[in-house]
Chains A and B, each alone.
Chain A
Amino acid sequence: TQLLEQSPQFLSIQEGENLTVYCNSSSVFSSLQWYRQEPGEGPVLLVTVVTGGEVKKLKRLTFQFGDARKDSSLHITAAQPGDTGLYLCAGARAGNNRKLIWGLGTSLAVNP
């Protein structure tokens, strides 16, 4: 059973388009993180959201944590080829934050 469901699994878009990636669960998380992984490298943290309803912006990327802290979304405005990569969400459970629960990832390709 995958505790964190990411959708879509794959996404191929043209430069300049907008997109949204979703991370959903039936479980409550104390915090949720988004990582980006480029080919041949390890994941790198983009953002951590902690409060229900929280919105964080990182340049053209907007991250939102659901009010009930069960889901999150990542919206990219005017995607660039440099945004290409694997986007992973990971959640920390309250009372057991030694391990993260990982989604399977969304593979994004932005074509010039």
Chain B
Amino acid sequence: NAGVTQTPKFRVLKTGQSMTLLCAQDMNHEYMYWYRQDPGMGLRLIHYSVGEGTTAKGEVPDGYNVSRLKKQNFLLGLESAAPSQTSVYFCATRTSGDNEQFFGPGTRLTVL
């Protein structure tokens, strides 16, 4: 079992470029989350999903979009990247009956 995987691991973008981060899980978990982690700011929730076909905004959703077309995948899109989106992005999953979140290894994104 791979658990929670994220692709890519690293990416450098220029301002204005777009990209999609992929989170995949083989744990059959209903809930999936996208966080960003910045020094001194902790983990901040961008968007989350409680099931296939549903998404909801977190505390910092501006500039990001998400889709959950399949239960095992949760995509995070940046339509027009900005330097303020330079961060480490983590995906996490959990079951509907337990608060424990399982995290992927992260994607380090730099926007120049």
Contacts and interface: CB of A to CB of B under 8 A. Distances in A.
Interface of A: 2, 31, 33, 40-45, 48, 88, 90, 92, 97-100, 102-105
Given A42-B90, A42-B105, A102 B43 contact: yes
Contacts of A48: 99-100
Of B4, B48, B56, B101, most buried by chain A (CB within 10 Å of CB) is: B101
B100 A98 contact: no
A12 B43 CA distance: 22
Contact of B31 (A90, A98, A105): A98
Q: Is the interface of B mostly helix, strand, loop or mixed?
A: strand
Contacts of B106: 40-42
A100 B42 contact: no
Contacts of A44: 103
A87 B56 CA distance: 27
